[in-house]
Amino acid sequence: MLSTMQDGQLSLGRLLRHGTTVHSESEVITWTGSEARRETYGELGKHAAKLANALRSLGITGDQRVGTFMWNNAEHMAAYLAIPAMGAVLHTLNIRLFPEQLVFVANHAEDQVVIVDGTLVPLLAKQLPELKTVRHVIVANGDASTLPAPDGVQVHSYDELLAGQPDTFDWPEVDERSAAAMCYTSGTTGDPKGVAYSHRSIWLHSMQVTMTDSMRLAQHDKALAIVPMFHAMAWGMPYAALMVGASLLMPDRFLQPAPIAQMLDAEKPTFAGAVPTIWQGLLSHLDANPQDISHLREVVVGGSAAPPSLMHAFEDRYNVPILHAWGMTETSPLGSVARPPVSATGEKAWDYRYTQGRFPASVSARLIGDNGEELPWDNESVGELEVQGPWIAASYYGGKAGDEPDPEKFHDGWLRTGDVGKISPDGYLTLTDRAKDVIKSGGEWISSVDLENQVMAHPAVAEAAVVGIPDEKWDERPLVAVVLKEGQSVTAEELREFLSDKVAKWQLPENWTFVDEVPKTSVGKFDKKRLRAFHSEGKLDVSQL
Ligand code: ADP
């Protein structure tokens, strides 16, 4: 073998040293409801060192897990850096999990310490006695005395614990293939599954996030991370920001449309990321309370399909381009990004932008048919998407039982995404459904995503979710759950008529229900499992045309 290059580790300690010195003037800005508190990356470096020293003083060693039960804020950012850089493993706990799921994930990951935001103390307190491995809880941004300590658990005030700690830390050289962080899937279609990211996978993924044809995060950006830091690592924004010196605007607990509009106005971020339902909510707010948001050079939307009507509303009315992206907790999460090829302009460019996009060079993809055969990229053959690459999970974290790749999700080194769609010859992915949400009517598939997008294009519709319901004749037929915009009205007959020249006749839904709200998952996606349950329990008022 020829001798080649040095073999420095792509570790988060290296990233921390870089970001907090080279980009020491960039800032993490936390919204407090009416104004922002600011911390430079230089200060953040000292903050992280104090936190690492504090965690060592509590006995955290090796790759023990430290949980965070927090909003997006500067303290969460310090945890993002300190915990992996000291060699331990950051476990971001989803604050909106059902209680039994929270208990399951914290016990499964064997969290030793949990850092909790003061406003979330009441949520954690109820489950804390059941978290078997937790020995210490640290209360940030609030009053530690409000949390009763169960037997064997010590409760600390974040500020007091960090106050006496040195503001430097001898960050160890960590093996880049060791675990840096863990995130459990949000359980949209089943129990949460743990994904352990390595230092190397986070490093490579961060580089991708900053690439020009990807999310393009750069030094001149101020990035608003609405997507929670417990949802697929806030889509890679925190680490990527530190890599290039982009400032971060953190919304803390102020996630409703009005406070988001207020922080947009006050801080004028240039970039933002969130799931479609957040943008839909913001859009309704802006339509009633107009405001210039053109300081946003681009916003990334993923987690669910971005409706074309939403993309047009932001671009045509607010001069803010939406970048559609696809990913999963298991894919770090960046899997594909919809930037059109240079040759496509006008309407053609839009057609590319509606898709889930192209895969970066580090993500290989294939489509698998019903009989396990590989399907061509002809933009017609529909199958399950499988992906492979250095920031794609190789297995779920098995806990004490060990990491055996689950054959339902992993085979021959590929991740089975559970997403169904097609790929064009030039590599653009179009997802039609999750395998578990597919509607099979008379032997043919109906894409719920496509129907949703078409219904949401109606000017009176705020949101529309489509699920399959049992049908004697056709096995399944689509049911459309519609949320109307405030002050608007439209009938099921009118909506069906509106669809009549947009979808094939046999796909036209006859089952319609008008609801105040589509049930949402813990990360703000349409919860189709619950919608189907509502229907089977007779809780929906369905009109049949
Ligand atoms: P959960 O599976 O619990 O919702 P994730 O947040 O990891 O947790 O979700 C990943 C899934 O979200 C993908 O497998 C896919 O079904 C869906 N998804 C993500 N981005 C998109 C997108 N742009 N369009 C359609 N579906 C998407």
Residue 55 is part of a domain; what is its CATH number? 3.40.50.12780
Ligand 1 centroid to Cα of residue 257, in Å, is 23
Question: Which atom of ligand 1 approaches the CA of 330 most closely?
Answer: 7
**Ligand 1 close to Cβ of residue 434 (< 6 A):** yes
Note whether residue 421 is domain-resident.
no
pLDDT in tens, 212-222: 999 999 999 99
CATH of the domain at 450: 3.30.300.30
For residues 101-108, give the mean pLDDT: 95
Note whether residue 513 is domain-resident.
yes
402 pLDDT band, cuts 50/70/90, is confident
Note whether residue 197 is domain-resident.
yes
**Residue (of 188, 194, 202) closest to 333 by Cα position:** 202
**Ligand 1 close to Cβ of residue 94 (< 6 A):** no
Which one of 385, 431, 436, 528 would you pick to mutate in the ligand 1 pocket, going by the greatest count of ligand atoms within 8 A of its CB? 431
Specify the residue with its C-alpha closest to ligand 1, atom 13.
Answer: 328
Class of residue 149 by CB neighbours under 10 A (exposed 0-12, middle 13-18, buried 19+) = middle
Per-residue pLDDT at 188 exceeds 90 = no
**Ligand 1 close to Cβ of residue 303 (< 6 A):** yes
Ligand 1 centroid to Cα of residue 55, in Å, is 34
**Ligand 1 close to Cβ of residue 281 (< 6 A):** no
Ligand 1 centroid to Cα of residue 435, in Å, is 12
**Residue (of 271, 275, 277) closest to 295 by Cα position:** 271
Specify the residue with its C-alpha closest to ligand 1, atom 25.
Answer: 305
Q: What is the token pair recorded at 469?
A: 């319901």
More confident residue, 190 or 450: 450
399 pLDDT band, cuts 50/70/90, is confident
Q: Which residues contact 4 (CB under 8 A, 6 or more apart)?
A: none
**Ligand 1 close to Cβ of residue 525 (< 6 A):** yes
pLDDT in tens, 54-98: 999 999 999 999 999 999 999 999 999 999 999 999 999 999 998
- Where does a domain end: 190, 207, 224? 207
* 3-class DSSP state of 315: helix
Per-residue pLDDT at 362 exceeds 80 = yes
Q: How far apart are CA 174 and CA 61, in angstroms?
A: 13
pLDDT at 508: 96
- The secondary structure of 138-201 as a DSSP string is EEESS-GGGSPPPTT-EEEEHHHHHHTS-S---PPP--TTSEEEEEE---SSSS--EEEEEHHH
**Ligand 1 close to Cβ of residue 522 (< 6 A):** no
Ligand 1 centroid to Cα of residue 326, in Å, is 7
- Structure-derived torsion over alpha carbons of residues 115, 181, 256, 120, reported in degrees to the nearest 10: -20
**Residue (of 486, 343, 527) closest to 428 by Cα position:** 343
CA 170 to mean position of chain CA atoms: 32
**Ligand 1 close to Cβ of residue 305 (< 6 A):** yes
Question: Which atom of ligand 1 approaches the CA of 335 most closely?
Answer: 20
Per-residue pLDDT at 187 exceeds 70 = no
Q: What is the token pair recorded at 496?
A: 């069906």
Name the least confident of 259-263, 270-274, 309-313, 435-439: 435-439
Residues 161 and 140 sit within 8 Å (Cβ to Cβ): no
**Ligand 1 close to Cβ of residue 485 (< 6 A):** no
pLDDT at 524: 92
**Residue (of 45, 84, 83, 78) closest to 176 by Cα position:** 84
Ligand 1 centroid to Cα of residue 202, in Å, is 19
197 pLDDT band, cuts 50/70/90, is very high
**Ligand 1 close to Cβ of residue 419 (< 6 A):** yes
Helices (H), 143-251: 158-163, 199-210, 237-244
With vertex at residue 70, the alpha carbon angle to CA 66 and CA 74, rounded to the nearest 5 degrees, is: 95
Ligand 1 centroid to Cα of residue 235, in Å, is 12
Ligand 1 centroid to Cα of residue 186, in Å, is 10
Q: How far is CA 538 from CA 257, 509, 516, 529, in A?
A: 32, 19, 16, 14
* 3-class DSSP state of 67: strand
Specify the residue with its C-alpha closest to ligand 1, atom 26.
Answer: 304
- Where does a domain end: 179, 207, 235? 207
- Structural domain that includes position 130: 8-207
pLDDT at 214: 95
Per-residue pLDDT at 255 exceeds 70 = yes
Note whether residue 308 is domain-resident.
no
**Ligand 1 close to Cβ of residue 356 (< 6 A):** yes
Note whether residue 100 is domain-resident.
yes
Ligand 1 centroid to Cα of residue 77, in Å, is 24
499 pLDDT band, cuts 50/70/90, is very high
- The secondary structure of 98-146 as a DSSP string is -HHHHHHHHHHHTEEEEEEEGGGHHHHHHHGGG-TT--EEEEESS-GGG
More confident residue, 401 or 408: 408
* 3-class DSSP state of 522: coil
Specify the residue with its C-alpha closest to ligand 1, atom 4.
Answer: 188
* 3-class DSSP state of 249: strand
Residues 161 and 51 sit within 8 Å (Cβ to Cβ): no
pLDDT at 190: 65
407 pLDDT band, cuts 50/70/90, is confident
Host H or E run for residue 494 = helix 492-499
Q: What is the token pair recorded at 197?
A: 């990211």
**Residue 148 neighbours by CB distance under 10 Å:** 11
Q: What percent of the chain has pLDDT over 70?
A: 99
For residues 333-357, give the mean pLDDT: 98
Note whether residue 48 is domain-resident.
yes
The residue written with tokens 């960046």 in the block is: 334
pLDDT at 189: 58
Residues acting as catalytic residues: 185, 330, 440, 445
**Ligand 1 close to Cβ of residue 468 (< 6 A):** no
Q: How far apart are CA 99 and CA 508, in angstroms?
A: 39
pLDDT in tens, 409-429: 999 999 999 999 999 999 999
Residue 469 backbone dihedrals phi, psi, to 5 degrees: -125, 150
Residues 74 and 27 sit within 8 Å (Cβ to Cβ): no
Cis previous bond, 333, omega within 30: yes
pLDDT at 312: 97
Question: Which atom of ligand 1 approaches the CA of 449 most closely?
Answer: 25
When divided into structural domains, the chain yields a total of 2
Per-residue pLDDT at 191 exceeds 80 = no
- The secondary structure of 440-458 as a DSSP string is EETTEEE-HHHHHHHHHTS
pLDDT at 408: 87
What is the overall mean pLDDT for the chain? Answer: 96
pLDDT at 463: 95
Per-residue pLDDT at 124 exceeds 70 = yes
Question: Which atom of ligand 1 approaches the CA of 329 most closely?
Answer: 7
Name the least confident of 5-9, 197-201, 491-495: 5-9
Q: How far apart are CA 155 and CA 159, in angstroms?
A: 12
Q: How far apart are CA 512 and CA 467, in angstroms?
A: 11
**Ligand 1 close to Cβ of residue 328 (< 6 A):** yes
Specify the residue with its C-alpha closest to ligand 1, atom 24.
Answer: 305
- The secondary structure of 515-544 as a DSSP string is -S---B-TTS-B-HHHHHHHHHTT-S-EEE
Note whether residue 403 is domain-resident.
no
Q: How far apart are CA 55 and CA 161, in angstroms?
A: 9
* 3-class DSSP state of 278: helix
- Where does a domain end: 165, 182, 207? 207
The residue written with tokens 């949101």 in the block is: 463
Residues 326 and 299 sit within 8 Å (Cβ to Cβ): no
Question: Which atom of ligand 1 approaches the CA of 186 most closely?
Answer: 3
Q: Which residues contact 242 (CB under 8 A, 6 or more apart)?
A: 15, 16, 18, 19, 20, 23, 41, 81, 206
**Residue (of 110, 94, 333, 86) closest to 233 by Cα position:** 333
Q: What is the token pair recorded at 258?
A: 């009005």
**Ligand 1 close to Cβ of residue 416 (< 6 A):** no
Ligand 1 centroid to Cα of residue 304, in Å, is 5
Note whether residue 195 is domain-resident.
yes
